[in-house]
């Protein structure tokens, strides 16, 4: 007899590294979700910036089921049509000449960092291995990526961390000038810090990093795992900044909910990843590639990307209206549909307290650190869902202010 799983099963059977909400969603459609009890939710969280086309978008369902009836997996002993089509599509739409496919953001960043180290090793020698990244940055949970990431809580307590990694201050070019030298192989940066609090880079900061990398022959790596695949209103955020990296990583919305990651690079750098230097059993998996190809082709159109910008304005207007009423936010910021509302001093650290209240009202949202309420909804969220979700968020904020 099969029994319906419950939230209590999590505590019985799962390693305790997460603390999931009590509700267990069982079905989704567009920007709506339903839990085991049949309660309806509006989704401003998007699976943490992953469900770029909402839940069960027909274009992605069609791509997945068509591929599921054809071919699931081969390994990299063979190549396959969906992986080749995805790689070509990414190359044609970006600065890149070459693509490496994998299954997550952390894996894409791991590949980017290993490629940078290997490229510098091959062209300059052993000494050129230093990596510059930024405090508060987030690049994944593998041991290399938590070490490069700028949140020590994620790398502490696991023994010695890999060496040669230094952290500058985001949007502070002088801090990088003090760290970068001829031994630097790469600078890794998010064009907008996501987990670190929804902080867009100043254009002159990214351009300055580009110039410093050129001066020291270091590679510029843009981590676009969260900002990529249409999230900021262009296919990749670098396209709006007009600053081109040597390596770019993508995941999250790229698969719309199917696990996939990609590392993009140029013909100058790619050869360092020679046969046998790196790999992944699932990288370029046909199912993942078919879904990602459908997602990229659907998202990279003027209709969808302009829709992201229009929805950005709507989110901002609603959040400003809530703020005029309740005065809880100090600043509303972000790009496209990656939006942060930083709490006012009186509500310091209390963004996290809004989440359970919002969920009781039926709204799923996110935080980026304890002080920033974050939203990363579907890029095609219907305007009616934005209005209704915001009405529910307003009720949650009103309850926070009333001290309930
Ligand atoms: C989420 C995220 C990652 C990690 O991606 P995973 O798929 O969880 O491994 C890396 N970098 C950034 C900027 C992210 O937002």
CA atoms of 12 and 73, how far apart (whole Å): 33
Closest CA to ligand 1's atom 10: 139
CA atoms of 186 and 176, how far apart (whole Å): 12
Q: What is the mean pLDDT of residues 331-342?
A: 98
Question: Which pair of structure tokens corresponds to residue 107?
Answer: 């894996």
pLDDT digits over 148-201, tens only? 999 999 999 999 999 999 999 999 999 999 999 999 999 999 999 999 999 999
Distance 98 CA to ligand 1 centre (A): 21
Q: Are 379 and 385 spatial neighbours (Cβ–Cβ below 8 Å)? A: no
Q: Is 141 annotated as a binding residue?
A: yes
Question: Which pair of structure tokens corresponds to residue 312?
Answer: 């950005």
> First-to-last CA distance in the chain?
43
Give 25's Cβ-side CA count (13 Å radius). Answer: 20
Q: Which percentage of the chain shows pLDDT scores above 90?
A: 99
pLDDT digits over 357-389, tens only? 999 999 999 999 999 999 999 999 999 999 999
Distance 162 CA to ligand 1 centre (A): 19
By CB atoms closer than 10 A (0-12, 13-18, 19+), residue 13 is exposed
pLDDT digits over 304-313, tens only? 999 999 999 9
Catalytic: 114?
Answer: no
Closest CA to ligand 1's atom 6: 105
Q: Which of 56, 52, 80 is nearest to 254 (CA)?
A: 52
Give 382's Cβ-side CA count (13 Å radius). Answer: 10
Q: Is 281 annotated as a binding residue?
A: yes
Distance 105 CA to ligand 1 centre (A): 4
Q: Is 394 annotated as a binding residue?
A: no
Which one is catalytic: 43, 44, 134, 138? Answer: 138
Q: How many CB atoms lie within 10 A of CB 394?
A: 19
Q: Is 222 annotated as a binding residue?
A: no
Q: How many CB atoms lie within 10 A of CB 91?
A: 14
pLDDT digits over 339-363, tens only? 999 999 999 999 999 999 999 999 9
Q: Tell me the pLDDT of the chain averaged across its residues.
A: 97
CA atoms of 188 and 132, how far apart (whole Å): 6
Nearest ligand 1 atom, CA 261: 7
Report the SS3 class of residue 297. Answer: helix
CA dihedral 305, 111, 244, 315 (to 10 degrees): 30
Give residues (CB < 6 A) around ligand 1: 104-106, 109, 138-140, 190, 194-195, 223, 225-226, 251-252
Q: Note the pLDDT of residue 2.
A: 77
Q: CA angle, 309 as apex, 393 and 343 as ends, to 5°? A: 35
CA atoms of 369 and 348, how far apart (whole Å): 11
Helix (H) or strand (E) holding 211: helix 203-216
Q: How many CB atoms lie within 10 A of CB 380?
A: 20
pLDDT digits over 54-109, tens only? 999 999 999 999 999 999 999 999 999 999 999 999 999 999 999 999 999 999 99
Instruction: Please give the C-alpha separations between residue 2 and each of 5, 77, 307, in angstroms, as whole numbers.
Output: 9, 39, 44
pTM given for the model: 0.98
Distance 141 CA to ligand 1 centre (A): 8
Of 137, 148, 149, 252, best ligand 1 pocket probe by most atoms within 8 Å of the beta carbon = 252
Listed in sequence order, the DSSP H helices in 94-125 are 105-124
pLDDT digits over 2-29, tens only? 799 999 999 999 999 999 999 999 999 9
Buried b (16+ CB within 10 A) or exposed e, 167-199: bbebbebebbeebbeebbbbbbbbbbbbbbbbb
Catalytic: 313?
Answer: no
- pLDDT confidence bin for 1, thresholds 50/70/90: low
Q: What is the DSSP string of 329-364?
A: EEEEEEETTEEEEEEPGGGTT-HHHHHHHHHHHTEE
Nearest ligand 1 atom, CA 142: 9
- Judged against a pLDDT cut of 70, whether residue 258 lies above it is answered with yes
Task: Give just the sign of the alpha carbon dihedral 198, 203, 205, 206.
Answer: positive
* Tokens 């952390």 found at: 106
Distance 140 CA to ligand 1 centre (A): 5
Domains of the chain: 7-57+302-402 (3.90.1150.10), 71-299 (3.40.640.10)
Strand order in the sheet with 40-43: 25-29, 32-35, 40-43, 363-364
Distance 158 CA to ligand 1 centre (A): 20
Of 48, 105, 109, 200, best ligand 1 pocket probe by most atoms within 8 Å of the beta carbon = 105
Tell me the longest C-alpha to C-alpha distance in the chain: 67
Which one is catalytic: 205, 252, 329, 385? Answer: 252
DSSP state of 274: -
Q: Is 77 annotated as a binding residue?
A: no
Q: Is 298 annotated as a binding residue?
A: no
Catalytic: 252?
Answer: yes
* CB neighbour list of residue 394: distance below 8 Å, 6 or more residues apart: 321, 322, 325, 326
Closest CA to ligand 1's atom 4: 140
Nearest ligand 1 atom, CA 140: 4
Which one is catalytic: 43, 223, 246, 300? Answer: 223
């Amino acid at each position: 007899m099969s029994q319906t799983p419950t939230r209590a099963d999590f505590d019985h059977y799962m390693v305790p590294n997460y603390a999931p909400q009590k509700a267990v969603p069982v079905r989704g459609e567009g920007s709506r979700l339903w839990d085991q009890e049949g309660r309806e939710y509006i989704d401003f969280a998007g699976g943490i910036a992953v469900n770029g086309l909402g839940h069960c978008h027909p274009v992605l369902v069609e791509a997945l089921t068509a591929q599921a009836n054809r071919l699931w997996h081969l390994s990299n002993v063979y190549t396959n049509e969906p992986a080749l089509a995805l790689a070509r599509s990414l190359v044609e739409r970006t600065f890149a000449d070459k693509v490496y496919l994998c299954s997550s953001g952390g894996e894409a960043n791991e590949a980017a960092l290993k490629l940078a180290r290997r490229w510098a090793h091959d062209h300059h020698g052993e000494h050129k291995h230093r990596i510059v990244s930024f405090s508060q940055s987030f690049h994944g949970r593998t041991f290399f990526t938590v070490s490069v990431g700028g949140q020590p809580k994620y790398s502490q307590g696991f023994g010695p961390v890999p060496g040669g990694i230094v952290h500058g201050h985001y949007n502070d070019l002088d801090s990088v000038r003090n760290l970068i030298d001829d031994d630097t192989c790469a600078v890794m940066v998010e064009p907008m810090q996501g987990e670190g609090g929804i902080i867009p880079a100043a254009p002159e900061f990214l351009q300055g990093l580009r110039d410093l990398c050129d001066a020291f022959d270091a590679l510029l790596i843009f981590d676009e795992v969260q900002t990529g695949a249409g999230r900021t209103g262009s296919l990749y955020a670098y396209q709006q900044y007009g600053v081109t990296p040597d390596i770019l990583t993508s995941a999250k919305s790229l698969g719309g909910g199917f696990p996939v990651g990609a590392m993009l690079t140029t013909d100058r750098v790619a050869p360092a990843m020679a046969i046998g230097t790196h790999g992944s059993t699932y990288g370029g998996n046909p199912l993942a590639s078919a879904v990602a190809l459908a997602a990229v082709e659907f998202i990279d159109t003027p209709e969808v990307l302009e829709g992201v910008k229009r929805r950005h304005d709507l989110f901002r207007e609603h959040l400003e209206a809530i703020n005029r009423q309740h005065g809880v936010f100090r600043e509303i910021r972000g790009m496209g549909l990656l939006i942060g509302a930083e709490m006012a001093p009186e509500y310091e650290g209390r963004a996290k307290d809004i989440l359970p209240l919002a969920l009781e009202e039926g709204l799923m949202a996110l935080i980026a650190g304890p002080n920033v309420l974050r939203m990363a909804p579907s890029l095609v969220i219907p305007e009616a869902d934005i209005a209704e979700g915001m009405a529910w968020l307003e009720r949650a904020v009103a309850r926070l202010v009333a001290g309930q």
